[in-house]
Amino acid sequence: MMTQYIQKGNYETTELDDEFIILNTDEFTITKLNNVGGFCWSNLKEAQTVETLTKNLIEKFSIQENLAQVKKDTEEFLENLLQCGLIQYAD
């Protein structure tokens, strides 16, 4: 079965000039994301796999080439969010 990820808590998110700012009041951290990261973050309100997120990104941003790189970047992004404590495994 594919690993699924989901937002860990109901964190306050603010969108400013193509940037997303996530306030984690439990950990007293602020995470800034660009609009691509923010799009992924918004998708993670529901359980997602690397594959579903990658597919959504490719469709949303009309990515034509380097699809393997998009998947790799998505995996790294999810790993970073896990380390920040912003998402968790949904399995």
Judge residue 50's burial from the number of C-beta atoms within 10 Å of its C-beta, 0-12 exposed, 13-18 middle, 19 or more buried.
Answer: middle
The string of pLDDT tens digits covering residues 8-47 is: 987 999 999 989 999 988 888 899 999 999 999 999 999 9
For position 27, what pLDDT does the model report? 82
What is the chain's alpha carbon radius of gyration, rounded to the nearest angstrom? 13
Give Cα 51 distance to the centre of its chain: 12
Given this model, what pLDDT does residue 91 score?
73
Q: What is the pLDDT of residue 26?
A: 82
Q: Convert the pLDDT of each residue in 50-87 to its tens digit.
A: 999 999 999 999 999 999 999 999 999 999 999 999 99
Could you give the domains of the chain? 5-85 (1.10.10)
pLDDT of residue 30: 92
